[in-house]
Amino acid sequence: MLLCFSKRCSKRDSAVQGATAGWFRETNNLKTADEHRLQSHLQNGSKDLKVFYGEPVPDINIERRLGGRVAGLDEVGRGALAGPVVAAAVVLHLGRLPAQLLATLDDSKRLSLAQRESLFAALTDTDYADIGTGQADVAEIDALNILKATFLAMTRAIGTLRGVDYAIVDGNQAPALRCPAFPLVKGDRLSVSIAAASIVAKVTRDRLMMRLAEGHPGYRWERNVGYGTPAHRAAIAKLGLTPHHRRSFRLGVAPQHTGSLN
């Protein structure tokens, strides 16, 4: 059984106390030595977590306490109506990582487009990290369901990396991998490795959706990247579905109402 941890932050004036007051909780019984090890590391290290305005800030405590090569895993596109789900696996070389870069890594949702692009370049154009990406396409999402497709994308992402000792996965579930894998709720706000993976996955998928938008201009994927915005749903109602839409999702249009299949 895998572990699931969650944490809550109180208001700004009590955030520091919150960091030492048991943000992590165990929701399943521990059954392996690896799980005991992670639980102990997190409990003992929670007092060291950084806090900023009542919100946790990713750090390297989890990676250091686990030891070895630790891969952070995250996905993007799970809730979109169109396009693949994309996952990234990132093993940071902590000894080489500049302090400024380390301090800047964060959950991709809390970063601007310019910040994400800059951090993506810093991670992918240097030797600061080993990075793998994977995706599950629309056909796989519709055939498997989105959770299984997400795990498939994660498995493909980490499968490109060698010698991973542990994986820490954003969310409350983790796929079965070749190494021990631990889910962390809001992991992209706890672990710099997961935060880095969230950035890589986000930029990779956004660029892919922008390319797809060129062939399907009416759906504004260059702006909504496949998510169900009012403009996107209105375009579906008017233009129909494309081959990149997920038929297993609630799209607000009859399956036979399809647009161009080119």
Structural domain of residue 113, as residue ranges?
55-211
Residue 203 lies in a domain: yes
Residue 225 lies in a domain: no
- The per-residue pLDDT for range 62-103, each reduced to its tens digit, is 999 999 999 999 999 999 999 999 999 999 999 999 999 999
Residue 70 lies in a domain: yes
Residue 238 lies in a domain: no
Residue 39 lies in a domain: no
> With 70 as the cut, is the pLDDT of residue 44 above it?
no
Residue 95 belongs to domain with CATH number: 3.30.420.10
Residue 66 lies in a domain: yes
Residue-wise DSSP of 213-231:
HHH-GGG-HHHHTT---HH
Residue 222 lies in a domain: no
How many domains in the chain? 1
Residue 19 lies in a domain: no
Q: If we measure between CA atoms, which residue out of 58, 82, 41 comes closest to residue 229?
A: 82
Q: Which pLDDT belongs to residue 47?
A: 36
How many Å from the N-terminal Cα to the C-terminal Cα in the chain?
A: 45
- The per-residue pLDDT for range 165-207, each reduced to its tens digit, is 999 999 999 999 999 999 999 999 999 999 999 999 999 999 9
Averaged pLDDT for residues 98-123: 95
Residue 197: φ, ψ to 5°: -65, -40
